[in-house]
Amino acid sequence: QVQLVESGGGLVKPGGSLRLSCAASGFTFSDNYMSWIRRAPGKGLEWISYISSRGSTIYYADSVRGRFIISRDNAKNSLYLQMNSLRADDTAVYYCAVHYRGNSCLDYWGQGTLVTVSS
Amino acid sequence: HSVLTQPPSVSAAPGQKVTISCSGNSSNIGNNYVSWYQQLPGTAPKLLISENNRRPSGIPDRFSGSKSGTSATLGITGLQTGDEADYFCGAWDSRLSGVVFGGGTKLTVL
């Protein structure tokens, strides 16, 4: 069965950096597009970044463009999110998800990892 | 504020039916598929409806989706207390080049 397991969250000071990982199994990772999505406390879901199957196409939300970098290692079945210049409003649970059925659909989600940005 | 518009909350009694609306524009719902997600308290979001009206394997037929123009609707029949959750619509936005979500609708089963 499809499994997505995020790791790397934690407490970081404003201006700091953090790297999230997402380990994928149960499907052909290298064939599928992936996204990172977050949910801040008391807020809704916010899509933040997308990467195509080979990494040739990447998109970011305006809120993170220039600060976050998405990448993937298909040999390791892993997705990454390098987060720099973190701000308090980046505090959220971060989820990775796989697009099985096209760009509009996030078919499976990981359990999420909590990132807290606070001094 | 969210690109797609949903009501913040809906409520109904057990056994009843509820609908949740999702409004967008030609860049998202109007020209791309709509998906719906259920997020139970303390858990990850789960896909309920894909491609406007298709239920993934394991999703009961109490859940249904429809789309017309730049709006979409999620229907839930035979409400159960276990359906209490946040529900989100989502779609690809061709102008923004990204997934856009509604603000979420909290369902309360009274």
Residue-wise pLDDT for B46-87, tens only, equals: 999 999 999 999 999 999 999 999 999 999 999 999 999 999
- The tens digit of pLDDT for each residue in B1-34 reads 889 999 999 999 999 999 999 999 999 999 999 9
- The pLDDT value recorded for residue A5 is 98
DSSP classification of residue A56: -
Query: What DSSP element (H or E) covers B7?
Result: none
Instruction: Kindly tell me if the per-residue pLDDT of A102 is higher than 90.
Output: no
Distance from CA of A85 to the nearest CA of B (A): 22
Question: What percentage of chain B reaches a pLDDT higher than 90?
Answer: 97
Residues B101-109: what's their mean pLDDT? 97
Residues of B in contact with A112 (CB under 8 A): 44
The reply to whether B31 touches chain A by the CB within 8 Å rule is: no
Instruction: Kindly tell me if the per-residue pLDDT of A1 is higher than 90.
Output: yes
Residue of B99, B100, B105 for testing the chain A interface, max A β-carbons within 10 Å: B99
Residues of B in contact with A94 (CB under 8 A): none
- How many angstroms separate the CA atoms of A101 and B52, rounded? 12
- The tens digit of pLDDT for each residue in A14-35 reads 999 999 999 999 999 999 999 9
Quote the mean pLDDT of chain B. Answer: 96
Query: What one-letter code names the amino acid at A116?
Result: T
- DSSP per position, A28-55: -GGGSEEEEEEE-TTS-EEEEEEE-TTS
- How many angstroms separate the CA atoms of A68 and A85, rounded? 8
Q: Assign A104 a pLDDT band (cuts: 50, 70, 90).
A: confident
Q: Which of A37, A44, A104 sits opposite B32 (nearest CB)?
A: A104
Q: Which of B44, B98, B103 sits opposite A112 (nearest CB)?
A: B44
Instruction: Kindly tell me if the per-residue pLDDT of A114 is higher than 90.
Output: yes
Q: Assign A101 a pLDDT band (cuts: 50, 70, 90).
A: confident
Distance from CA of B94 to the nearest CA of A (A): 10
Distance from CA of B47 to the nearest CA of A (A): 6
Residues of B in contact with A103 (CB under 8 A): 32, 92, 99
The reply to whether B51 touches chain A by the CB within 8 Å rule is: yes
Residues A61-83: what's their mean pLDDT? 98
- The pLDDT value recorded for residue A86 is 98
Q: Which residue has the higher pLDDT, A100 or B77?
A: B77
Query: What one-letter code names the amino acid at A36?
Result: W
Q: For tokens 């229907």, what's the residue?
A: B75
Contact criterion met (CB < 8 Å) for A45 and B92:
no
- The pLDDT value recorded for residue B1 is 81
Distance from CA of B92 to the nearest CA of A (A): 4
